[in-house]
Structure 1
Amino acid sequence: MKHIFRKGQSSDQPTFILLHGTGGDESDLFPLALRLNPNYNMLGVKGNVDENGMTRFFKRHGEGQYDWKDLEERGTELYEFLQAAAKEYDFDLENAILVGFSNGTNIAINLLLREETKFAKALLFAGLYPTHIDHVKDLSGTDIYFSMGTHDPIVPVSESERLIDLFQRSGANVTTHWTQSHGITEESLNEAVKVVNEQ
């Protein structure tokens, strides 16, 4: 997958895995990552799906109507890429921090819920995962930060609450921040910085 890797201060630093929103690219979230912690490794990944000229990580049938089969396949593809990248760039995937915005958050959620994966933390902005999941794996010890909008035109509050409930049931350490709309605000970024730098 097309990507950019920026080496951090030392090889044992955590690695941000940066997953853009619809229409973005592999460089989009680097300014955000530099604010979160400039000393960490950074891996920006570009989605492989083209939707009317806009890049995404998986296909959909319409707004909020996911192609779930494609999402599963693209999630597998992304995880296999991350495993290869961890070897190539010599970083520990279990010490990685997923950072997603919108469509990037949604593929990050798919990664987190897979039985075979383990990540240290996830910073998830403006996510939507509109499906009911009965069984969720044990995510004890994983820090999950959600930034969600009370008046998000794409994500209803009920869907945001569904995500919070899902990850609370998993045993993850869930932190939530509510903003107004579908975006990343200065305040939501400042709260994410706290989650990143907590030991």
Structure 2
Amino acid sequence: MGTVVSAIGIRALERPAAGEPEGALVLLHGRGADERDLFPLLDALDPERRLLGITPRAPLSLPPGGAHWYRLGGIPTPDPETFWPTFDAAAAFLDALPVPMEQVVLGGFSQGAVMSWALGLGAGRPRPAAILAMSGFMPEVPGFELELGGLDGYPVAVVHGSLDPVIPVEFGRAAAKRARAAGADLLWRETPVPHTIDPRLLPELQAFVAAAVPMAERN
């Protein structure tokens, strides 16, 4: 397990890069999990440890337990009263990273995927190097807008299980369709699994992360 770090009211685990970080990989866990849940995925997606790896813990403690990014308000409509404070805290956390956002691959699973869309494409937010959305949806919250303009060639990966009983695959398909229509360089994968990350997709996702942050030139 990596070093525990905290900033702006959000606690996180950090997996150091093997050398000078060439960027960062930030993974946001799903509802009721915690910062340890996706920590092993850091090495799976960045085995050479080129990137600083960070898994934040969602700031809310809600029933039935674990950490939450927002209170459930339906799909695709997070509860606004909890979404907005979390969005502000998570945005401040990302802005305080020692790596600029244009070198950060931002991804997440379930609620973490929802927040990845929000934090990566929210109006006025700096755009990360790429977005990896796993088994989630693009959020619809009063007063909140996604900036989908100017995505020509922008790397986006959306993966979803066709057997997902928690967030139906139609929401993943809709997010992928919107990203593709906006011109994103889209990796879309739908596989016959429930609400989980299909391990068969890891090689493709590893390549996606590697390509999103080009390898630094060495002297």
Residue 42 of structure 1 aligns to a residue in which SS? Answer: strand
- Structure 1 gap ranges (5+): none
Deviations 1:89-131 (A, max 9, x none): x322210011211111111111122232210112221112364
Q: Which amino acid aligns with 2:53?
A: M
Residue 95 of structure 1 corresponds to 103
1:25 to 21, 31, 34: 34
Asked if 1:122 corresponds to 2:135, the answer is no
Q: 1:20 to 1:171 in 2, by over 3 A?
A: same
Residue 162 of structure 1 aligns to a residue in which SS? Answer: helix
Tell me the TM-score normalized by structure 2. 0.80
Q: 1:42 to 1:82 in 2, by over 3 A?
A: same
Identify the range of structure 1 (92-101 vs 8-17) with the bigger mean alpha-carbon deviation.
Answer: 8-17
Q: How does 1:77-88 map to 2 (within 5 A)?
A: 77-84=89-96, 86=97
Q: Which amino acid aligns with 2:171?
A: E
**Alpha-carbon contact 1:11-1:91 (below 8 Å) kept:** no
Q: Which amino acid aligns with 1:17?
A: V
Residue 82 of structure 2 aligns to a residue in which SS? Answer: helix
Q: Which amino acid aligns with 1:102?
A: S
- 1 CA distance for matches of 2:82 and 2:182? 24
Q: How does 1:1-199 map to 2 (within 5 A)?
A: 1-38=10-47, 39=49, 40-52=51-63, 53-61=65-73, 65-84=77-96, 86=97, 90-114=98-122, 115-129=124-138, 131=140, 136-180=148-192, 181-198=194-211, 199=214
**Alpha-carbon contact 2:153-2:184 (below 8 Å) kept:** yes
Q: Which amino acid aligns with 1:183?
A: T
Taking every aligned residue pair, what percent have the same amino acid on both sides? 25
- 1 CA distance for matches of 2:75 and 2:177? 23
Residue 60 of structure 1 aligns to a residue in which SS? Answer: coil
- By percentage of residues, which structure has more helix? 1
Q: Which amino acid aligns with 2:150?
A: D
Q: 1:12 to 1:152 in 2, by over 3 A?
A: same
**Alpha-carbon contact 1:122-1:143 (below 8 Å) kept:** yes
